[in-house]
C-alpha cells in the first residue's frame, strides 16, 4: 500500500539553525499538509498546500516557516531559525481530494529536537 | 471553525473486552467528515475509520465501529475484543466543508490489560 514517507526520522539541531524536513506524499495525492505535535500534546495544523501554493496556514506558521514542492514529488518544511519551542514531532500528510470525506494519510513523522 | 472534544484523557480495558472512546464535535458546516486515528508509542499516525455527516449507517471497519449520533454531535469509537496491540493514543478528528484541514481532539490514551 502506498505511504507517505518522511526523512529524517529524527533531527537534532542547535537553536538559531535552519532545518529542512522532507516528505514524499503518496503519488496521486494533490493536497499536502504539515502538522506538529509537541510531546504529550495535541496534533496542531501548520499549513495546507495545493496547486503549488499555500491554501491555509495557522497562527503557528509564521515567517520562520516556509513550504515548498521543489520537484513534483518532494514536499518540504523549512524552519529558518529554530527556537527551543520548535522541538516537536512534525507530520506530513496528504490526501487525494479536498473534500470533507477524504482521510489524510500521515507519514511516520520527524522528531525535531532543538538544543 | 471546528472543535473536537475528547473528555477521557485515559481509559483502561481488559483484553478481549469492548471499549468506547468518546468524541464530541462542534461545527457550523453542513457537510463534514469525522475520523479516528491511532498513534502507538512508536509515534506514527494510523487512520482507522471514517464517518460522513450524511451517512445514515454507522461506519464499521473490522473491530472498529463508530457510534455516530448526529443530533448529539458525537462520534464515539467502539473497539470490540480488545487486544494488547490496541494500547495507544486515539485521536478523533474532523474535516469540514468550509476548510479542509483536519482538526484533532486532545486524544485518549487507551491501555489494554492482559
Say what the pLDDT of residue A96 is. 87
Contacts of B50 in chain A (CB under 8 A): 101, 103
In terms of Cβ atoms closer than 10 Å to its own Cβ (0-12, 13-18, 19+), residue A73 is exposed
Give pLDDT tens digits for A13-65: 999 999 999 999 998 899 999 999 998 788 999 999 998 899 999 999 999 99
Interface contact flag, B103 A45, Cβ < 8 Å: yes
| Residue labelled with grid coordinates 477524504 | A102
Over residues B23-43, the mean pLDDT reads 94
Interface contact flag, B100 A98, Cβ < 8 Å: yes
| Largest Cα–Cα separation, chain A | 40
Amino acid at each position: 500500500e502506498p505511504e507517505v514517507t518522511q526523512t529524517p526520522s529524527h533531527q537534532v539541531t542547535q537553536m538559531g539553525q535552519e532545518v529542512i524536513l522532507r516528505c514524499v506524499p503518496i503519488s496521486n495525492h494533490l493536497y499536502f499538509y504539515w502538522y506538529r505535535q509537541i510531546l504529550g500534546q495535541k496534533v496542531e495544523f501548520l499549513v495546507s498546500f495545493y496547486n503549488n501554493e499555500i491554501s491555509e496556514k495557522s497562527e503557528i506558521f509564521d515567517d520562520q516557516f516556509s513550504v515548498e514542492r521543489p520537484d513534483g514529488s518532494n514536499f518540504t518544511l523549512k524552519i529558518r531559525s529554530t527556537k527551543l519551542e520548535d522541538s516537536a514531532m512534525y507530520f506530513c500528510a496528504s490526501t487525494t481530494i479536498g473534500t470533507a470525506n477524504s482521510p489524510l494519510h500521515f507519514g511516520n513523522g520527524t522528531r525535531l529536537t532543538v538544543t | 471553525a471546528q472543535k473536537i472534544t475528547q473528555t477521557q484523557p485515559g481509559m483502561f480495558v481488559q483484553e478481549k473486552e469492548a471499549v468506547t472512546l468518546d468524541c464530541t464535535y462542534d461545527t457550523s458546516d453542513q457537510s463534514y467528515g469525522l475520523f479516528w486515528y491511532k498513534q502507538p508509542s512508536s509515534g506514527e499516525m494510523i487512520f482507522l475509520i471514517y464517518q460522513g455527516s450524511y451517512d445514515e449507517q454507522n461506519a464499521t471497519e473490522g473491530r472498529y465501529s463508530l457510534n455516530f449520533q448526529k443530533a448529539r454531535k458525537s462520534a464515539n469509537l467502539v473497539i470490540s475484543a480488545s487486544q494488547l496491540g490496541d494500547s495507544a493514543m486515539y485521536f478523533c478528528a474532523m474535516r469540514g466543508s468550509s476548510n479542509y484541514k483536519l482538526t484533532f481532539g486532545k486524544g485518549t490514551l487507551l491501555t489494554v490489560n492482559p
